[in-house]
Structure 1
Amino acid sequence: MTYLQSGVPTTSKLVAEGLDFDIVHDRSQFGSAKWANQWDEFSPRVEGEGLMSLWTADMDFRSPAPVIARLREAVDHGIYGYTMRDPHHYQIVKSWFERRHSWAVDAETLLPAPAIMPSVAAILRTFTQPGDGVIVQAPVYSPYFQVISDNHRTVLINSLKLVDGRYELDLDDFERQAANGARAFLLCNPHNPVGKAWTREELEGLDAICERHGILVISDDIHCDIRLNERRHIVFSSISEAAAAKSFICTAPTKTFNLAGVPAATLSVADPKRREKLFNVMQASFMLNANFFGRLALEVAYTSGDDWLDMLTLYVRDNIDFVLNTAATALPGINPMRPDASFLVWLDARELDARVGGIHRFFVERGGVNLYDGRVYGPGGEGFIRLNVGCPRSVLREALGRMASALASL
C-alpha cells in the first residue's frame, strides 16, 4: 500500500498511475449505458439535455494504469484468438483474496466464468428445478428477480428490516421462506443497494437456517473489495465447513476496477461433486472460453491494483462524506445511509416521494439528475433512490447542487 504509507503523491504521479480521480472523462463516444441513460432491462429510459447520470453501477474513473498498459499491449499485438486461464491465473485470484480479505480459498475450488449473473443462472439451472423457490433479500439488486423468474423458478422475498436507519436481517421470516419451497438462497454480500456488509454472526444465522432446510447458497460478492470502514469482508463459505459445502461464491474484479466492459469472473465451489456438475453444465453452455481482454484485465488488476484500490477507497469515502454533509445542510427530506462497502449510497426519500409524486422522476425533470429509482429493487425500495458516487467530486458537487435547487423550488 505504497501511497497510503508514504503520503500523498504528486499530481503528475497521480495522473501517470491513473490515480487522479478528479479528472472528468467524456464517455459518450464509447456507447456508455450510464451516460446514455438507457438500460432496457431494469430501468425506464429517461432523456434530457445535459442530464447528469449517477445511477447504474459503473464508475467514471479510468482503470489502473498497469491494466490499461497491458490491454493496450494486447490490442497492439493484433491477434485476439482463443485464450485460456492456466493454473497461474487461479493462483492470482487466490492471492488477491488472501491478501485483501484473509480468505484462504483453495485454488482447486475455482471455476472460470464469463460474469456473475450468467453464472447464477447456470447454478440455478443445474441445482434447482422449475418452480423451486429462491430466496432474495429485498430491496435488492434488480437482476436477481429476472434471473430467477426467467429461469422459471419462484422468487421468495425475505424483506430486510429497517431499524433506526440501518438494515437488519429478519431471520424469523427467512425461516418461513426457507420452509416455503425454497431450494436456494441468493445472497448479496455486501448488499446492493443498501450497502450493508454482513457480519459473521449474521451469516452464521442464515447458514443455520439453510442447513436445517437443505438450501444452497449462491453468494454474489462483486462489491466486496471497496471497504469503507473497519468491517472486514466475510466470505460465506469461510464461516464453517458446512457453509462451504453448500455454497457457490461468485467474484469478479469488474466493480472494483471499473472493468464491466471487459468482464471476467471466478466461482468457488468447495463441494467437488457439485463443482464437476456445474463445470459440465457451463461447458455445455459454452461459458468457459475466457474473454481475451477480460482475463488479462483480471490478472493485472489482482496483481498490481492494490495501491489504486487504496486511493480509490479514500476518494469514494470522501465523496460519501460530501453527500452526507450536503444532505444535512441542503437536501431536506433526503436521508443517506452510510454504506460499509462499494460506491453506492442508498437515499431514504420516502416522505418526499409521496409529496412530489415520485422522487426519481422529480430529480430527472426538475434537477436534470438521473439516479436509480428504488422501486426497481423490489418490495421495500419504494421512495428510495440509489446514488452512484463513483465519479469526480466536481460532477458529484454539481449533481447535488442541482438536487438542492430542485428541492428549494418546492
Structure 2
Amino acid sequence: MKYDFDEIVDRSRTGAEKYTGLEKLYGNPEAIPLWVADMDFKAAQPILDAVRERTENGIFGYTVRPEKYYSTVCSFQKRRKNWDMDEKLMSVSLGVVPSICMLISELTEPEDRIIIQTPVYRPFYNAVRDAGRELLESPLLESDGCFYMDFEDIEEKARQGARYMILCSPHNPVGRVWTKKELETLGDICIRYGVRVISDEIHSDLVLWGNRHIPFAAVSEEIRKLTITCISATKTFNLAGLQNSITVFPDIETKNIFDRAWGRLHIECSNCFSLVCTQAAFEHGEEWLEQLITYIEGNVNLVMDYFSSFIPQIKPVRPEGTYLIWLDCRQLGMTGRQLTDFMVNKAGIAMSAGTYFGKNAEGYMRMNVACPRAIVQKALQQLKEAVDALEA
C-alpha cells in the first residue's frame, strides 16, 4: 500500500515527550519540535492491525514471547544485512540504553576504562559515569563536512588499558554509516588490545542512498567474539514508546550474566504490545520502511539545498544514515547557550543542542527531519527569517 508521510498527526494530547517537554526544557511550547529522535509518522498498517487485533481480546495479562519471536528477528537481519545470528545468543530487554547500562554495570569493574567516540549520544556518557567507570573520549575527526574515526587516538586509548568501547553504528548525531574498512581497522585494534565492544546499532535499518550498514559482529569471526550488539525495531518502525530491544551476545556465558541481572530485577517479562508490534514490524513492515527511507531522503535533500541557497552561514552534514542532520552553526558566532536561545526564541525551533552530545560539539545543533515535509519547510523558513534578522 501507499503510505502518506505528508499527513500531519496531532500528538499534543498523547503525552509525547517531543511535545509535552517543550515548555519545561525550552520555555517555548509553540516551538516546532525537531529534537527527540522519534518520528511524527503513523506506524506501518500491519503493526496497527496487530495492535488492534490484540486489543480486541481485552485481556492484557503476563505474556510470554512466541516461539518464532527470535527467528523473525533473525530473518529480518538476514534479509536486510546478510547477518547470520544465533537465536541461542539473543536476549530481549526494555531498550538499548537500559541494555548498555546493564552491560556496563555487570561486565566491568569500578574504575575500568571505557572508550566512546565524541560527539555522541548523551546516554553513552551517563552509562559510563553513573557506573563509576572511567570515560575515555576519542573525538571524531572532521574533514570537508564529514566525520571519521581517529584510529591513532583509539589505539592510544586502548593502549592505556581500555576494557570496553561503546560503538555507535550508524553514528548519532553525525550520521555516518561506517564502512567495512573502517570497522575492520577498528576491530583489529580491539583484537590487538583485548578491548570488547558494545555496539549500539539501533539506527542500522535507517540507511540512506544505498549505503550499507555492516553489523560490527558480522565483519569477522574474531570481531564477533568480542562484540555485544544492541538492536531494536523501535527506531526503525517508530515504536520507541513500547520499550523493546534485542541484545546479541558473543557467547552463552556473557548472555547468562545479562539474563541473571534482569532476572534479579524481576523485569524479564515482555510487554504484550511490544511483542506483537516488534513481530509485525519485522515480518510485514518492510514496504513501509522502504517508502519511509525514500521520504526521509527527500527531506534531507530539501534541507541540504535550502541551507546552501538561503542560509549558507549554517553547514548541514549530509547523513548517510538515521533521520538526523548535524548542523554546523559556528559561523553564527554564538556560544552553545546563545545558539539554543536563538533557535528556540528567535527561529521558533526546538532542536537538540550540540553540547548535549559532548563538549567538543559547541556551535552545532541536531535536527530531526522525520516529520511531514511541510513542517520541515516551515522550520527552514522561520530559521531563514531569524538569520536574516541578525544581519539586518
- TM-score of the superposition, structure 1-length normalised? 0.92
Partner of 2:104: 124
Partner of 1:238: 218
Partner of 2:268: 288
Partner of 1:147: 127
- Specify which of 326, 342, 366 is matched with residue 362 of structure 1: 342
Residue segments in structure 1 that go unaligned for 5+ positions in a row? 1-12
Partner of 1:107: 87
1:195 aligns with 2:151: no
Are the aligned partners of 1:28 and 1:35 in contact in 2 as well (CA < 8 Å)?
A: yes
- Specify which of 11, 29, 46 is matched with residue 13 of structure 2: 29
**Any residues of structure 2 matched to 1:49-198 within 5 Å, and which?**
49-198=29-178
Distance in 1, Cα, partners of 2:267 & 2:336: 46
Distance in 2, Cα, partners of 1:54 & 1:21: 16
Q: CA deviation at 1:113?
A: 1.3
Distance 1:308 1:219, change over 3 A: same
Between 1:335-344 and 1:351-360, the stretch displaced more is 351-360
Q: CA deviation at 1:388?
A: 0.3
- Specify which of 274, 299, 309 is matched with residue 319 of structure 1: 299
- TM-score of the superposition, structure 2-length normalised? 0.96
Distance 1:402 1:192, change over 3 A: same
Distance in 2, Cα, partners of 1:23 & 1:377: 31
- Specify which of 264, 267, 272 is matched with residue 252 of structure 2: 272
Distance in 1, Cα, partners of 2:115 & 2:63: 36
Q: CA deviation at 1:37?
A: 3.2
Residue type matched to 1:126 in 2?
Answer: E
Distance in 2, Cα, partners of 1:357 & 1:275: 42
1:210 aligns with 2:190: yes
CA deviation map 1:32-80 (0-9, x unaligned) = 11012359xxxx8112252110011000000001101111222221111
Are the aligned partners of 2:22 and 2:28 in contact in 1 as well (CA < 8 Å)?
A: no
State the superposition RMSD in angstroms.
1.5
Residue type matched to 1:288 in 2?
Answer: E
CA deviation map 1:95-129 (0-9, x unaligned) = 00001111111222211111111111111122100
Are the aligned partners of 1:332 and 1:407 in contact in 2 as well (CA < 8 Å)?
A: no
Q: CA deviation at 1:346?
A: 0.5
- Structure 1 runs (4+) deviating above 6 angstroms are none
Q: CA deviation at 1:239?
A: 1.0
Q: CA deviation at 1:133?
A: 1.1
Distance in 1, Cα, partners of 2:270 & 2:68: 14
CA deviation map 1:340-399 (0-9, x unaligned) = 111101111112143897322211110111111000101321110000000000011101
Distance in 2, Cα, partners of 1:356 & 1:158: 21
Residue segments in structure 2 that go unaligned for 5+ positions in a row? none
- Specify which of 250, 255, 271 is matched with residue 235 of structure 2: 255
SS at match of 1:194: coil
Distance in 2, Cα, partners of 1:87 & 1:249: 22
Residue type matched to 2:178 in 1?
Answer: W
CA deviation map 1:152-182 (0-9, x unaligned) = 1111100000011110111111011112231
Identity %: 35
Residue type matched to 1:376 in 2?
Answer: Y
Are the aligned partners of 1:27 and 1:35 in contact in 2 as well (CA < 8 Å)?
A: yes
Distance in 2, Cα, partners of 1:223 & 1:149: 24
Residue type matched to 1:366 in 2?
Answer: K
CA deviation map 1:193-212 (0-9, x unaligned) = 00000111111111111112
Between 1:125-134 and 1:398-407, the stretch displaced more is 125-134
Distance in 1, Cα, partners of 2:235 & 2:16: 15
Are the aligned partners of 2:197 and 2:228 in contact in 1 as well (CA < 8 Å)?
A: yes
